[in-house]
Amino acid sequence: MQEHELYMRRCLELARLGMGSVSPNPMVGALLLHEGKIIAENYHQRFGGPHAEALVIEETLRKFGDRAADIFRNSTMYVSLEPCAHYGKTPPCAKLLVEHQVDEVVIACRDPFGQVNGQGIEILKKAGIRVIEGILADEALWLNRRFTTRVRHQRPYVILKWAQTADGYMAPEGGAQRWITGAEAKQLVHRWRSEEDAVLVGAKTALVDNPQLTVREWRGRNPKRILIDKQLAVSADANLFDSSVETLVFNASKTDWIGSVKYFALENFDWYLPQNILYQLYLMDIQSIIVEGGRKTLDLFIDAGLWDEARIFTSPEAWGGGIAAPVWHAASARSQLVGHDRLDSYYRIHSNNS
C-alpha cells in the first residue's frame, strides 16, 4: 500500500500541472510502472487534448516500439482519476487500456461524472485487468474539487476574496480608492486569477476601481471577466471592456453580443441573483470563479450560502473608519503571511447531496 501511495502521489503532482488549462475537464495525472521503474508519465494538459493515460500509452509506444506490447502486459498504470468510459472530445481511456492489455490499473478515486462513475472500472474488470482503487482518494477528490462541485451542484466552484484592514474595513467611504495590501499579495491574486475560469465584480467596484481583472503580475492565461451591472452604469471605455478577454455582463435589460462583451438580461433581476448567475455560468462550462467585488457583491454570495472557499487578506494597517468588510465567523483552516499581510483561508464542506 505504501508503494501505491508513493506512485499515486506522483500522479497527483503531475495532475496539478494542468491547473488553469483543462477546465471544464478534471486535472488528471498518470504513469506506467514496469519492473519497479516509471517508464512513462504525463498529465491532461489542455481541454480537448489527449487524456493523461493516452499520453502515457503514446509515450511508451514511441520509446519501446515493438517491445511495447509485452511491456504493457507486465506493467501497472497509476492514474489519479478513474479512466473515462465515454466518447467525448477524445475516445474512452478505459477501452484504450484494454486494447493495450495493461496488466493492472491503480486508481485514486472514481469520476463523479454520471457517464463515467464506475463504468470505466467495470470496463477494465470485464477485460480481466486487475483494478485497485481508493489510493489517496481524499487528496484526489480535493484536487478536483472544482470539477466535482460543477458535476454535483450544477454551478461553478466559488472563491470569495477580499482585503481588509486590521480594524476590519475594506474600502474608504465616499467612493475613494485606497490600496490595502502589499505587492506580494497583489502578485498572489494574479496567480489565483490564472488558475480559475472567471473573476467577478459588481458595478460599484468597476466604477470606483476601474479594474482590468487580468493576469499581469504572474505568467498565465487571463480569466473571463464577469460584471454584475443592473442598470448598465459602467461606461464602454472602462478597462473591463478593453477587448483583451471575454467579459460577461449580467444586467436587467440588455441581451447582446458585441465583440468580446456578452450581455445577459436576467428576468426578475433582484430575485435569486447569485443562483441565476451561477447557473448561467454552469451552462457556459465555467467551472470556477473568484468573487472580488465590494461588500454588496460579496454579501450576495455569503447570504445565499453560495461559496466554497474564502481567502481574506488582513493588513497590519488600521484606518479607523470606512466601509466594513463582511462579517465572518468561521474558523480559519489555514493562516499564513504574504509579505506584511496575513492571509486566512476558509473552506466550506458540503455533503454529497447539498
pLDDT single digits (tens) 317-342: 999 999 999 988 777 789 999 999 99
Q: Does 53 participate in catalysis according to the annotation?
A: yes
Residue 46 assigned as binding residue? no
Same domain, 128 and 153: no
pLDDT band per the 50, 70, 90 thresholds, residue 116: confident
For residue 354, pLDDT over 70 is answered with no
Please tell me the pTM assigned to this model.
0.93
The CATH code of the domain that includes 216 is 3.40.430.10
331: which DSSP letter? Answer: P
SS3 209: helix
On the question of pLDDT at 351 being above 60, the answer is: no
pLDDT score at 352: 47
Does 283 lie in the same domain as 306?
yes
Total number of residues shown for the chain: 354
- Among the candidates 143, 171, 190, a domain finishes at 143
Residue 91: band (very low, low, confident or very high) from pLDDT cuts 50, 70, 90: confident
Q: Which domain holds residue 214?
A: 149-347
Q: Are residues 82 and 207 in the same domain?
A: no
Q: Is 16 annotated as contributing to ligand binding?
A: no
Residues 239 and 280 in one domain: yes
- How confident is the model over 124-155, as pLDDT tens digits? 999 999 999 999 999 999 999 999 999 999 99
Give me the numbers of helices (H) and strands (E) for the chain, helices first please. 11, 17
Same domain, 158 and 299: yes
Catalytic hit among 5, 35, 53, 133:
53
- Domain stop point among 143, 175, 200: 143
Q: Based on the domain organization, do 113 and 189 belong to the same domain?
A: no
Question: Any binding-site annotation on 93?
Answer: yes
- Residue 248 in domain: yes
Long-range contacts of 245-253 (CB under 8 A, 24+ apart): 245/214, 248/198, 248/224, 248/281, 248/284, 250/226, 250/277, 250/280
